Amino acid sequence: MIAKSEAYNFEDRVTEVVSKVREGVVMVTSHRYRMGRYGEVRPLDGAASGIIVSSSGYIVTNHHVIQDHHGLQVTTGSGEVHDAEVIGSDPATDVAILKIDARGLNPLKLGDSDKLAAGKFVVAIGNALGLPGDPTVSLGVISAIGRPMPWADFIFEGLLQTDAAINPGNSGGPLATLDGEVVGMNTAIVAFAQGVGFAIPSETIRRVMEQILDHGRVIRPWIGISGLTVNESMRNMGNFTGIKGVAVVRVSSGSPAHLAGIKPWDVIVSINGGTVENLRGLLEKLSKSSIGRTVDLEIIRNGRNLQVPIGLMEMPEHYLEYGR
C-alpha cells in the first residue's frame, strides 16, 4: 500500500514535469485545400503538436503532420503565431524539422531512449483534438520497446509503445519521463485497441535531425528487402529450427539484394561478421554503413550457410512514401 505522503510526492513530481515540458510544446497548424463536388476550393486545416529543440526556432514534428501542406503555422505557448519553414522531412521515420523566426524559446532536452525499460512512467503532452487552452496531458508507462507498427512495413521497426492516452492532435508532441527528458515523439494509435499508442524514440529523432541538418535529407543505405525477425513459432517449423536472424519475405526487383541473388525465405544471420539476431539489429548495422560500400551478408538457405557480398545503394525516394 502506498503511503499518502508518497502519493503526494509522486503527484507533485508529475505536476512539475508537466509544467516544465509544456513550455517546449507548440501547436502546428497545417493549411490544406480540397476541391469540392462542384469545383469549389474548401480549406482543410489540421492542428497537431511539435517539440522545440533549440532556442533559435528549430522544431520537430511528424512528417504526416506537414505532408502535402499549403502553408504551416506554429503557435507557441505564449500565444505567438509564426509562419514555419520545412527544413527537411523523413517519411520512413515520420520525422520532420521545422524552423520559425523566433528567439528565446524554451527547448526540451532529448533523453536516451536506448536506456528505457518497460514499466517506466511517462507523460504524453500535445494538442489533443486541437482543443483551446494549454496542451493536454496524459500519464502512463512504457508498455514495450522496439515495437513495429502493426500495419506498416519494416521501416517503422523500433517504436515505443505506451498506454498514455494519445489522440488526434497529439501527433508530434513529446513523450517525456518524470525527469522532464523527451524520450519519444507521439506518432500514432491503434484505433481498434485500448491504451495502445506509439512514439518515435528520441535516438531516432536525434539521428534524423543530424542528417537533415547536415545533408538536407536522411541518407539511408538500402539492400532492397522486406523481412521479419525469426520468432519462436517460426523456429518450430522445419526450415528455421535453431536459427536466429532475419527471414527475407520480399526482394525488390532490381535492388542490390536481387542482383546479389538473395531469395525469399533466406535467413540473414550476420553482416560483416557481426551477428544479426533481429530486424532492428540488421537495420542499425546497415544504417552505419556508407552508400557504395560492399557489405558481406551471411545467409542460411535450405540449411546451408552462404556468404553473399552486396553493394549498398541509397534507398529510392518512392520507398519512403508514408504508410507504404
Cβ contact 46:34 at 8 Å: no
Mean of pLDDT over the chain: 85
* 106-115, 164-173, 214-223, 313-322: the lowest-pLDDT one: 313-322
What is the rounded CA–CA span in Å between residue 189 and residue 170?
10
DSSP codes of every residue in 247-311: EEEEE-TTSHHHHTT--TT-EEEEETTEE--SHHHHHHHHHTS-TT-EEEEEEEETTEEEEEEEE
pTM of the model: 0.76
Domain that holds residue 266: 221-320
Specify the CATH number for the domain of residue 25.
2.40.10.10
Bigger pLDDT: 131 vs 63: 63
pLDDT of residue 135: 86
Instruction: Over range 246-271, report the average pLDDT.
Output: 93
What percent of the chain is modeled with pLDDT above 90? 50
Q: What CA–CA distances, in Å, run from 7 to 13, 181, 222?
A: 10, 22, 50
Single out the residue in 180, 200, 215 at which a domain terminates: 215
What is the rounded CA–CA span in Å between residue 98 and residue 294?
35
185 and 235 fall within a common domain: no
pLDDT of residue 288: 77
91 and 118 fall within a common domain: no
85 and 148 fall within a common domain: no
Active site members: 64, 94, 171
* Residue 107, domain member (yes or no): no
278 and 192 fall within a common domain: no
* 28-32, 42-46, 226-230, 280-284: the lowest-pLDDT one: 42-46
pLDDT of residue 3: 60
What is the rounded CA–CA span in Å between residue 229 and residue 147?
12
User: How many domains are there within the chain?
Assistant: 3
Instruction: Over range 26-43, report the average pLDDT.
Output: 74
121 and 208 fall within a common domain: yes
Single out the residue in 100, 121, 150 at which a domain terminates: 100
Cα Rg of the chain, angstroms: 22
* 220-224, 278-282, 292-296: the lowest-pLDDT one: 278-282
What is the rounded CA–CA span in Å between residue 81 and residue 29?
10
Single out the residue in 34, 65, 100 at which a domain terminates: 100
